[in-house]
Amino acid sequence: MAKPTGFMEFDRELPADRPVNERIKDWQPIHLHLSEDRLTNQAARCMDCGTPFCHKGRIINRMNSGCPINNLIPEWNDLVYQGLWKEAYQRLEKTNNFPEFTGLVCPAPCEAACTLGINKPAVTIKNIEYSIIDRAFDEGWVTPYLPDKKSGKKIAIVGSGPAGLACADQLNKVGHDVTVYERADRIGGLLMYGIPNMKLDKDIVNRRIDLMASAGIEFITNTEIGIDISADELKSQYDAVVLCTGATTPRDLPVPGRDLDGIHFAMDFLQPNTQSLLDGSHEDGKFLSAEGKDVIIIGGGDTGTDCVATALRHGCNSLTQFEIMERPPNERGVDNPWPQWPIIYKLDYGQEEAAEVFGDDPRQYAILTRQFSGDDGPNGVSVTGVETVLIKWEPDGSGRPFTELPGTEKQYPAQMVLLAMGFLGPDGDLLNRFKIEKDERSNARAEYGHFQTNVEGVFAAGDARRGQSLVVWAINEGRGAAREVDLWLMGETDLP
């Protein structure tokens, strides 16, 4: 594929990001673009490796490796190298409904599995993917998909995140009438309100949603199933229902002082911020502001990073991020070989910004929160500090997998604490309203590959079924559920 000697001739190159001191003053996208000739050089690095590992998603040692939606990566790399951009787009859209989303927010497990990554920096798959779809929109190649004929079947999808949108897109292509219900005021779920605008521009999300609406998909916002419409009513009105509500129940931190004012779940911070930004550039003040505050973020994942970047743009006084795990090594360990996801230290965009503003990576590793302290404030007793202790990952004999290190106790000042420790499962009482059986993690019980729940005609996909995961896995599940719904309704299916 591509140029046989390209991987030896060209080094890995990514486009630059906007300068930190410029981008933290606004909410605009942070990434810049490579020129076409430099992109062609990057595509040329794709090897004729015989057995590509990049385009087959799997879980290795509980970590993602390869592309869960089986993108035809070597094929469209070769086409980009040849300058055949429209053909590259045609390959890309065969497997990925939304490459503009994955090209921006996916952590790129495909690159972790790139054969070149055994001994050299991997091919820049993610950036090439986004460049293909970006050009496709610019050239007018992306148009609404209008089915040749209608099936007469009606399907309701609950939740408009990546799983719900992918499911809707696929079912519409085979002629079903699809209605997507969203309890928020805008369509997009996680894509709209879970990811900040500088990481995923909402104009990009709305552009895709407008295309889908033009193709005949109906979107209904501000509607919560079980409250505005009953589960029984929904089932009676539609031939099939697909639950794609995500895993939105946040993991809590039940330590002394948890009820103090100023301690918030991450999404209670991120969602109103984006909503207020979109409603009127934050002029309504309907968001939690970190301006002038000492901010502690507990949790080291993507959501924590987004909280870091958002608090910086508010103008926080200081910022510290707690990570209970140990600091990753600078290089791969011998117990973390290719094609596993590389567990190595890196600065994500938020930490890079914090380091520029405050002089260092804001993360504190192997640290445990013991309790919160507080004092009288305008809304009651407000948080004023966080008491911590360092830990070592060795069992302490009482059942905990770590041991506290005496003498390492520390008090951090804080007027805002954000809990970004992941998610446990679907929130609310939705599954109970549908009488859906749950698995041991409180997700909808539905076998992967079939997606049927215990209730006839009701399917589940995405994080609501598998638990917290990646956008690309949500797309995988939405596409898979669409195929199974079509097969169940029609007795056969042409969907992949």
Q: At residue 379, does pLDDT exceed 80?
A: no
pLDDT of residue 51: 87
Pair of tokens at residue 337 = 């070989």
Proportion of the chain above pLDDT 70, given as a percent: 100
Lowest mean pLDDT across 59-63, 143-147, 389-393, 432-436: 59-63
Q: CATH code for 263-419? A: 3.50.50.60
Is residue 376's pLDDT more than 70? yes
Query: Quick count: other Cβ atoms within 10 Å of Cβ 248?
Result: 21
Write out the two tokens for 136. 């496709």
Q: Quick check: 4 pLDDT over 90?
A: no
CB 268 within 8 A of CB 417: no
Q: Who contacts 28 (Cβ-Cβ below 8 Å, separation ≥6)?
A: 18, 197, 198, 201
405-410 contacts at long range (C-beta below 8 A, 24 or more positions apart): 409/370
Tokens coding 242: 């697909």
Contact yes or no for 130/203 (Cβ under 8 A): no
CB of 385 closer than 8 Å to CB of 339: no
What pLDDT sits at residue 485?
98
pLDDT digits (tens, 9 = 90+) for 338-357: 999 999 999 999 999 999 99
pLDDT tens, 437-474?
Answer: 999 999 999 999 999 999 999 999 999 999 999 999 99
- Mean pLDDT value of segment 404-426: 97
Query: pLDDT at residue 380 above 90?
Result: no
DSSP bridge pairs for 380: 377
Distance in angstroms (rounded) separating the CA atoms of residues 365 and 478: 36
Domain with CATH 1.10.1060.10 in the chain: 6-139
Question: How far is residue 124's CA from residue 155's CA, in Å, rounded to a whole number?
Answer: 38
Beta bridge partners of 229: 225
Residue 193 has pLDDT above 70, yes or no: yes
Question: Which of 229, 66, 49, 211 has its CA nearest to residue 142?
Answer: 211
What is the SS3 assignment for the chain? CCCCCHHHHCCCCCCCECCHHHHCCCCCCCECCCCHHHHHHHHHCCCCCCCCCCCCCEEECCEEECCCCCCCHHHHHHHHHCCCHHHHHHHHHHHCCCHHHHHHHCCCHHHHCCHHHHCCCCCCHHHHHHHHHHHHHHHCCCCCCCCCCCCCCEEEEECCCHHHHHHHHHHHHCCCEEEEECCCCCCCCHHHHHCCCCCCCHHHHHHHHHHHHHCCCEEECCCCECCCECHHHHHHHCCEEEECCCCCCECCCCCCCCCCECEEEHHHHHHHHHHHHHHHCCCCCCCCCCCCCEEEEECCCHHHHHHHHHHHHHCCCEEEEEECCCCCCCCCCCCCCCCCCCCCCCCCHHHHHHHHHHCCCCEEECEEEEEEEEEEECCEEEEEEEEEEEEECCCCCCCCCCEECCCCCEEEECCEEEECCCECCCCCCHHHHHCCCECCCCCECCCCCCCECCCCCEEECCHHHHCCCCHHHHHHHHHHHHHHHHHHHHCCCCCC
458 close to 213: Cβ distance less than 8 angstroms? no
Summarize pLDDT for 155-179 with one digit per residue, the tens.
Answer: 999 999 999 999 999 999 999 999 9
Looking only at the bridges linking them, the beta strands covering 58-60 and 63-65 are antiparallel
Q: Which amino acid is at 274?
A: T
Q: Name the more confident of 378 and 348.
A: 348
Residue 2 has pLDDT above 80, yes or no: no
- pTM of the predicted model as reported, rounded to 2 decimal places: 0.96
User: Among residues 41, 95, 94, which one has the least CA distance to residue 68?
Assistant: 95
Chain mean position to CA 291: 26
Q: Are 479 and 69 in contact (CB under 8 A)?
A: yes
The secondary structure of 195-212, three-state, reads CCCCCCCHHHHHHHHHHH
Residues of the chain with CATH 3.50.50.60: 154-248+424-490, 263-419
Q: How far is CA 87 from CA 75, 100, 132, 479, 495, in A?
A: 10, 17, 10, 22, 21
Residue at 372: amino acid letter = F
65-69, 90-94, 373-377, range with the lowest pLDDT: 373-377
Homologous superfamily of the 6-139 domain (CATH)? Alpha-helical ferredoxin (1.10.1060.10)
- Assigned fold of 154-248+424-490: FAD/NAD(P)-binding domain (3.50.50)
Query: Prior bond to 339 cis, omega within 30?
Result: yes
Mean pLDDT on 309-324? 98
Hunting for tokens 């981008």 — which residue is that? 23
